[in-house]
Structure 1
Amino acid sequence: NKVKDISNDGLQVAVITFEEELANVAGQFNDTLEKSQNELETRKNETRSRQPIKNTKKTCRYCAKRPEASSGGSCKVCKEKEEKGKLAKCRLFNKYIKNTHDCSIPTELSHLGESIGALVIDGNMMGRLFQQTSTPAEYTYKSHTFKTKFDKILEDSITTFLDQEENLNLVKHRKEGIDYLGIDVLYAGGDDVLILMNAKAVIQFASHLIENVSEEFMFKKKFYDTTTFENPTVTISCGIAIADNSFPIYFLLDAAREMESSAKKEFRQNTSTDDYNIIKIPKGAMSVTAVNSAMPEKDHISFVFPHDLKDLEQLSRIFDIAFYREKSRTLISDLVTCGNSKHEYLNLIKYMYSSVQRKSDSINIDDCEWMADTLCNDNLLSASRMIIPHLLHGEGE
């Protein structure tokens, strides 16, 4: 009844009780937990009768189910959801983002950036943490301890990331003369996190968080021969979808969830067993896609840490050139628009080296090297062509 009152009769709650031997609860807690979950699902799916909705000329503009009850065109339930949502969002923002760096808090998608990135985060192989759990108290303690530590890692990762000026400049977005901090934590529950942020910084932040989580949960053992064994006990997979800020958010989140599943798949495929029969797991994984329509493309790029760290660093370097070296924007344009044949790649490289010989101000020998490396790396080239047009959106490119 309290839930119904708080939600203006918009929500109901299912409660189940059952008898169980104390020995079963203590010795077979996983079975007891599974039984309770099954009974709860059965109770939730039971058919219930409700009062029919009266005919009305004006229905809620949000749910289109209940009568309009406010000047804003919403019903009592949706109005309550909106007010509670604003309060919860503010609390969540203040919990994880301690310093706004004199920027305004974003309240609309357009405040995050011209292009936004949806970042979906989930833990890998988390069941291992609870394999030896035998009692409800132990399960609760482990869950609470892990959540507290993970929340702290997320908060510290955001803080240290924004404290670096080059990262802060990527996150900031100026709209109508106001600087907004283009990052917003929409949900954080244990190892499940959803973040929306400026697309210019989303890949760099995901990489930063993956490294921090793996390091904080790293198992280290030093042997007598001075060798050290390291293996992370907790890692995360990140799914990233990038799109224009006017793109339907539902499809963007759906694409990000698909990328998170793709990252988990890449993570599992890169898990191996060493000569001592010890499972060696990567530090984490990330999959990225960019979407342009309501039917997202299947193209994506994946990075597994630390195996693909070199490619990721090279991609970040390309981003830096695109953002900060205006004279080199033509290089980025050539990289994105170059044809797909080896012959066209070779012609572009030859043109660049000849430009160096002509002492062009916009091209140097280092540019020739990273362009050649990128053109010879199919994975890196695909990522650049897919992502860069979105990141330069709104900058005259």
Structure 2
Amino acid sequence: MSATTPAAVPRRPALWLRRPRELWSVAVSLVRMRNATPELAADRVVRRFGLVIGLVGTIAAVLELPEIIVQHRAVPLIWTTITFAVAFGMLPVLAVVSLVAGARLVRAVAGAAALGYLAGMALVMPYYYEIAEAPGLIWAHRLVMIGVLAAAVAWRSWLSVGYLVVTAATPGVALYVMFDDTTVLSVVENITRNAGLCLLFLWCVVHARAAGARVDRESVVAGDRAAAVAGTVARERERARFAVLIHDAVLSTLLDASRSGSTGTSAVLRQQARRTLDQLDATRLFGADTGLLDASSAVGFLRAAVHEVNAGIEFTVHRGGNDSELRMPLSAAGPLAAALAEAVRNSLRHAGVPGRRVRREVTATVGAGGLLLVFQDDGAGFDRSAVPADRLGISASILGRMRQLPGGAGFVESEPGQGTTVTLMWANAGSVDDDREK
């Protein structure tokens, strides 16, 4: 009887090999999630500075470690370890977070790093004499700039300046308090030197963050300006097209009708009148503009339509990662803006509640495939089944427009006392077709 050889079982990689791979996969996933949303210039500046400060601070801590060991030879090891971890522990975390997370988390970690370094300076004080006996300046007083830069990334400029004053003054004040032979002039010189050097780098970070915020503001203004120009062009085209239609079709039909007298109407005149009505109806439904709006211009166009009705209504925009691919025809933007403006007007007319302020807001979600608009108020609300059939504000001006718009849809939800929600959607027919082909 021959012995059977057991089937080879594939061995899983060792834990120490699997763990880095899993961490790398998580990091890549976080980067992809962050890149799915367009980043503001100010946030990009914060992340770049966070990465640089985290890396430089970590390298400086490693380079200072031999000097720290020498200066702390008379200090208990546990106290040295705690001081080092508190002062520098958040810097590598700041570098990693700046790569994989958003600016908000970067600012929070940078603030923790700044406070950690300040706490490290405080933890040096109980063993100040022992550490000062070693040659050279105390390590915690040499790297003040790292804490100041982290503070500049984390907080507003005035808080960063306050942090700079505290950290720059600490070495000189400590010398004055601990050693009797320290003069006021030497303290002032020490503070001035530290503050001057740190202030230069603090100014660079604050100026860069302000420049990023200014770029974001200019981008919004440019988008609104482009939308206003596009809207003006669209209106001029519509006005010219209607003028031609009125002159060539409507007036000629009326003129022929007046010449025919009251004896009867000819077949030619009836056909001409029918053709004129068809042209007007086609114009009402679809329009003839072929101009295209990008995402920023489309949002600005819709925001302008809302603020033309009431400038106090909040307009929030959520952008998808591929919103730059949106191309919205003016013939679609016009009906969508008109339906949204009508929803706002209806709310202003009918949703008021005595004794309190009604909150109204518009949320726009933009992607390559189209637009989603949600208008909400917390006003009086209404029962849709109780609305008379001859009231055209909702049925014709909002829902009717969206039904007639290719790729459009609209919904109105409301209950008495529960407010009203109007949802308007427009899907780019080209993107839908592309998805189906895939």
Q: Larger C-alpha radius of gyration, 1 or 2?
A: 2
TM-score by length of 2: 0.23
Structure scoring higher RCO (CA < 8 A, sep ≥ 6) equals 1
TM-score w.r.t. the length of structure 1 is 0.24
